[in-house]
Amino acid sequence: MASLQVENLRKEFDRGTIVAVDDVNLDVKDGEFVTVVGPSGCGKTTTLRMIAGLEKPTSGEIYLDGEDVTKKSARQRDIAMVFQNYALYPHKTVFQNMEFGLRMSTDLTKDERAEKVQWAAEMMGIEELLEQKPDELSGGQKQRVALGRAIVREPKLFLFDEPLSNLDAKLRTTMRAEIQRLQDELGITAVYVTHDQEEAMTMGDKIVILEDGELQQIGAPTHVYENPSNEFVGGFVGSPSMNFMDVVARASGNSLVLTDGEDFRYSLSREYADNIVVEDGQQVTLGIRPEDIYPAEPSEDGIQTRVDVLEPVGSDNYLYLEIRNGFIARVNADVKPDIGDPIEITFDESKIRLFDADTGVSLL
Ligand code: ATP
């Protein structure tokens, strides 16, 4: 496989009135699986299409294994792309669909091509489907064929554009595992676009978060989850979303106190507060994840609130708390406070994230 570098990639549409991708840099190592995620219109597909050679960048460069391919056509790049709508030729059999790319891009003999198709079909568990036509297949089978067609060419790089979006939830999980198996067995280098943050988190060695064409953060999924670089990333990654509250940070004796001007008050130890770049009296946004909120022990100084709604989700309960605009706590299923009754909650200070109230940038 190969490595991929994307440098200062930019794409404007409509004479510069739309900036779809704004100065994006990416470094994908050989054998690395990178997921790209962000809300609709953030520039995911445009980025992928530029890497594929299907869209010309306004500026910036793309390197494949160190070679500048920015001006090369899609065909010359040796990249395979897997789409949401499978993009299979309807009149060709599965075998012919898988063989077609080999015919176009290699000078292998008929027997050699057949051998490769057989190998890829076995990898994907679709040997029995080789003589069928795409319209005789289920969505999951079609996507297996599309994956088989991609791997048979043994390209330098795989690009995936929301490949599982048309499949039902159960099949999506199966196919996710299947793609991860392919990565393990073949060591493929891949850029995988999805709007599903859970998919991005579970599949990626690295996750890239885009918003409005700009790269917000890139890193290992757990690192990004625990250390979001800004409020947008904190809120986008994780489900249910991180809770946010506008507070004021005030130095008080040996600690830093966060208050909302009403009844919310949380003291951070000096030791912890020393890691935070914040001025006395500064407006900040506090972020706390639902699973990091829990009922306070009687000995602890908790935050007084009430439960508006209790939503059981199997192993956990979601508590909708009456704090400001509403907080969600994700607690064990055996924690079942009565609706409307007072409850004291708390969280570890190490789990608190603080963001600049104006820029959203993390202060930790
Ligand atoms: P989605 O998840 O909805 O597919 P996306 O993150 O893939 O979105 P893009 O399709 O890359 O986003 O689009 C990024 C921005 O560029 C959007 O504002 C979109 O409207 C705009 N855009 C994309 N292609 C074109 C085009 N050919 N002409 C004009 N604007 C375009």
The Cα diameter of the chain in Å comes to 80
pLDDT of residue 242: 96
Tell the residue nearest (CA) to atom 8 of ligand 1. 41
Tell the residue nearest (CA) to atom 14 of ligand 1. 43
Tell the residue nearest (CA) to atom 11 of ligand 1. 43
Of the pLDDT bands very low, low, confident and very high (cuts 50, 70, 90), residue 154 is confident
Q: What is the pLDDT of residues 192-219, one digit of tens each?
A: 999 999 999 999 999 999 999 999 999 9
* H helix or E strand, kind and range, residue 307: strand 303-312
pLDDT of residue 169: 87
CA distance 138 to 145: 11
Tell the residue nearest (CA) to atom 24 of ligand 1. 46
pLDDT of residue 252: 81
pLDDT higher than threshold 90 for residue 107: no
pLDDT higher than threshold 90 for residue 102: no
Q: Give the closest residue to 350 by CA, choosing from 261, 230, 284, 266.
A: 266
Percent of the chain's residues with pLDDT above 90: 70
Q: Using the mean position of ligand 1's atoms as its centre, give its distance from the Cα of residue 21 in Å.
A: 9
Tell the residue nearest (CA) to atom 18 of ligand 1. 41
Q: Is 151 exposed, middle or buried (0-12, 13-18, 19+ CB in 10 A)?
A: buried
pLDDT of residue 229: 97
ipTM of the complex: 0.97
pLDDT, mean of residues 93-101: 92
DSSP code at position 361: B
pLDDT higher than threshold 80 for residue 105: no
CA distance 90 to 175: 22
pLDDT higher than threshold 80 for residue 106: no
pLDDT of residue 297: 85
**Residue 10 CB–ligand 1 contact under 6 Å:** no
Tell the residue nearest (CA) to atom 21 of ligand 1. 20
CA distance 290 to 248: 21
pLDDT, mean of residues 130-151: 92
CA distance 117 to 115: 5
Is this prediction's pTM over 0.90?
A: yes
Percent of the chain's residues with pLDDT above 70: 100
pLDDT, mean of residues 84-107: 88
Of the pLDDT bands very low, low, confident and very high (cuts 50, 70, 90), residue 271 is confident
Q: Give the closest residue to 354 by CA, choosing from 270, 260, 263, 247.
A: 247
Residue 241 dihedral angles phi and psi, to the nearest 5°: -65, 160
CA distance 116 to 99: 8
49 CB neighbour count, 10 Å cutoff = 21
Where do the CATH 2.40.50.140 domains begin and end in the chain? 243-356
CA distance 100 to 80: 13
pLDDT of residue 18: 95
**Residue 18 CB–ligand 1 contact under 6 Å:** yes
307: Cα separation from own chain's centroid: 31
**Residue 194 CB–ligand 1 contact under 6 Å:** no
Q: What is the pLDDT of residues 29-81, one digit of tens each?
A: 999 999 999 999 999 999 999 999 999 999 999 999 999 999 999 988 989 99
DSSP code at position 28: E
Q: Using the mean position of ligand 1's atoms as its centre, give its distance from the Cα of residue 323 in Å.
A: 37
pLDDT of residue 277: 81
Residue 293 and residue 316 in contact, taking contact as beta carbons nearer than 8 Å: no
CA distance 235 to 242: 5
Q: Could you please report the per-residue DSSP string of 235-283?
A: HHSSSSPPEEEEEEEEEETTEEEEE-SSS-EEEEEHHHHTTS---TTEE
Where do the CATH 3.40.50.300 domains begin and end in the chain? 4-236
Residues 6+ apart with CB under 8 A from 125: 144
**Ligand 1 atom at shortest distance from the alpha carbon of 42:** 6
Q: Using the mean position of ligand 1's atoms as its centre, give its distance from the Cα of residue 218 in Å.
A: 21
Q: Give the closest residue to 54 by CA, choosing from 17, 85, 27, 80.
A: 80
Q: Residue for token digits 């088989």?
A: 148
pLDDT of residue 119: 92
Q: What is the pLDDT of residues 274-333, one digit of tens each?
A: 888 888 899 999 999 999 999 988 777 788 899 999 999 999 999 999 987 789 999 999
Residues 6+ apart with CB under 8 A from 139: 166, 167, 171
CA distance 16 to 242: 35
Q: Using the mean position of ligand 1's atoms as its centre, give its distance from the Cα of residue 42 in Å.
A: 7
Q: Using the mean position of ligand 1's atoms as its centre, give its distance from the Cα of residue 195 in Å.
A: 13
**Ligand 1 atom at shortest distance from the alpha carbon of 48:** 11
**Residue 313 CB–ligand 1 contact under 6 Å:** no
Give a three-class secondary structure readout of 126-177.
CHHHCCCCHHHCCHHHHHHHHHHHHHHCCCCEEEEECCCCCCCHHHHHHHHH
Both tokens of residue 164?
A: 């599982």
Highest CATH level, class, for 4-236: alpha beta
Q: Using the mean position of ligand 1's atoms as its centre, give its distance from the Cα of residue 40 in Å.
A: 8
pLDDT of residue 136: 93
Q: Could you please report the per-residue DSSP string of 255-268?
A: EEEEE-SSS-EEEE
Tell the residue nearest (CA) to atom 15 of ligand 1. 20
Specify the CATH number of the domain 243-356: 2.40.50.140
**Ligand 1 atom at shortest distance from the alpha carbon of 38:** 6
Q: What is the pLDDT of residues 341-357, one digit of tens each?
A: 889 999 988 999 999 99
Of the pLDDT bands very low, low, confident and very high (cuts 50, 70, 90), residue 133 is very high
Q: Give the pairing of strands 206-211 and 18-28.
A: unpaired
pLDDT of residue 118: 94
Q: Give the pairing of strands 190-194 and 33-37.
A: parallel
pLDDT of residue 261: 80
